[in-house]
Structure formats: structure tokens, C-alpha cells
Amino acid sequence: MSAPQSDAVSIEILPVDEENDLGSIALVTINRPDKLNALNADVMSGLKAMVAWVEATDSVRVVVMTGAQPNAPPEGKRAKPNAFVAGADITEFVGKKSDDIRVMFADNAVEALWNLSKPTLAMVDGFALGGGCEVACSCDVRIASDRSRFGTPEINLGLIPGYGATQRLARLIGYGKTMEMIMTGEMISANEAHRIGLVNHVCPPEDLRAFTLKMAQTIGSKSSNTLRVGKATIRAALDAGLTEGVAIEAEAFARLFDSRDKEVGVNAFLNRTTPDWEHK
């Protein structure tokens, strides 16, 4: 099955390893640079198709989410700024009432991305606002260029975040910082986002792609089964209490001792060879 391409969401397939067949990285680009990659219905359906395809395609080991770079401006016009995603498409909010929004936001693509069992990285270069900050928060790791800016400006529209920031952002940066961002609607710099734990790494724009893909390659070279178990187990810390979470971990850890890849990994260490993971 080939990757689902659309005008709004494109998928580039890159190797995890240039020399050995270790599967691929799906580099997913939200492609509306003239609208700062705002999440409209086309983007959301493209993202859902992408998530379903990645989940069903064993060869894809890791997903990297990014936003398209600005197009060259027409003669005499100013260039649009760099953006990861500048939020939900506000034009689609016009005239909408609660019944419409319940349908639009039910079972949405940001939630689907969060529920993907494979590792996900957000590669952020520019504005990550509202739904853009939330797409980033739905990934496992966030890497940003130093010119990026994060924010939850929905308060300025008379709204609160609707794609999970009240929950996932709060888990990342804590109650006080989340309240400050959501109540003021003000943006923070990439360095501040790094300082408060919203972003894992900050680098110059020219290094962002290489840095992010190197991490994706490192993660993609590990056992897919073990990564999946690890992600599901760490998620338990978000949904369960500490005691229940430790019990979930104990069971997941024990079950991995019946897996092929535990034998492969331990033997490779003892024999000083490279582990040949199963990858499925």
C-alpha cells in the first residue's frame, strides 16, 4: 500500500539506515504555507489517512511531523513567516455552533496522532500556535529551531484549546505554566519552551532537519515491538495512578522476556554483535 498523498499533507519516505534495510521514516509535511499550515478539514483528513497508513505499514518505524516552508512571495509582497502550524483554520469557525464543533472535533486527527503506537517526533520551525502547539504535544518528542514560537492564543478568540492542550500541555509543563499560556494567550520563544520542558531540543534552523532525522534514525534502528511496548507503558503513567502504573510496567517488562527481540538483544550484547530486530 503506497503512502496516502494529498495537496494538504505529503509524506516523504526516508531510510532509517542508508546501508541496511531497517525500514523507513515517514516525514509528514502539513502543506498550506500561505495560511501558515493552519489545520483545515483537508489537513485533518490527510493526517487521519496518514496515521491509518503508518499504523498498517510495518516498514514505517518512525514518524516525523513538520510544516511546509514558506513559498517565495509574489513580486512586491512580503514573505509569509515560517510556521509549523499556526492553529486550527479560524475561517472554519465562522458561523459554527456547538453541534457542528462536536462533530468536527470528535475522533479528530490530533487524537489519532497521539494514539499512534509508533514513535513520533515534531520538527518545528516557526509558529506552533493553538492546534499547532497541540499537534506538537501529540508527538512523543519535540525539536524546534531557535526562531520558533509556541503559544495557545485561543483566549483571544474567546475560546480555550480544543485539541488536547488543557491535558497534554499541562502534563508536559505543569499547571502554572499551562495556565499562564492559556490565560494570557502570549507566545513564548523556543528557548523558553525548552527551559520549561515543552521542547526537547533547540537548534539553529539550518541544523534542524539533520538533527531531527538523526534522532529518528536512532529510534528507528531499535526493536519495533519493544518501542511499542515502551510507549504504551509510559502512557500508563499519564492515565493511571502511580501504583497501578508500576504494576502495568511490571507486567509489560515481564512479557518482553517472552519476545524474540529480548533474546536477540541480550545475545547480541553478550556476543558483541549487532542485534537483528524483527521489525513488525
Residues that bind ligand COA (CB under 6 A): 35-36, 38, 80-81, 86-91, 127, 129-130, 153-154, 157
Q: Give the nearest distance from C-beta 262 to ligand COA in angstroms.
A: 45
Check 55, 75, 92, 134 and give the catalytic one: 134
134 annotated active-site: yes
Look up cell 503559544; give the residue.
151
Q: Give the nearest distance from C-beta 8 to ligand COA in angstroms.
A: 13
Q: Give the nearest distance from C-beta 174 to ligand COA in angstroms.
A: 22
When the beta carbons of 62 and 86 are compared against ligand COA, the nearer one is: 86
154 annotated active-site: yes
Q: Give the nearest distance from C-beta 189 to ligand COA in angstroms.
A: 14
Task: For residues 190 and 211, give the distance between their C-alpha atoms in angstroms, rounded to a whole number.
Answer: 16
Check 18, 19, 75, 154 and give the catalytic one: 154
When the beta carbons of 125 and 261 are compared against ligand COA, the nearer one is: 125
When the beta carbons of 101 and 172 are compared against ligand COA, the nearer one is: 101
Task: For residues 12 and 50, give the distance between their C-alpha atoms in angstroms, rounded to a whole number.
Answer: 11
When the beta carbons of 178 and 221 are compared against ligand COA, the nearer one is: 178
Active site residues: 134, 154
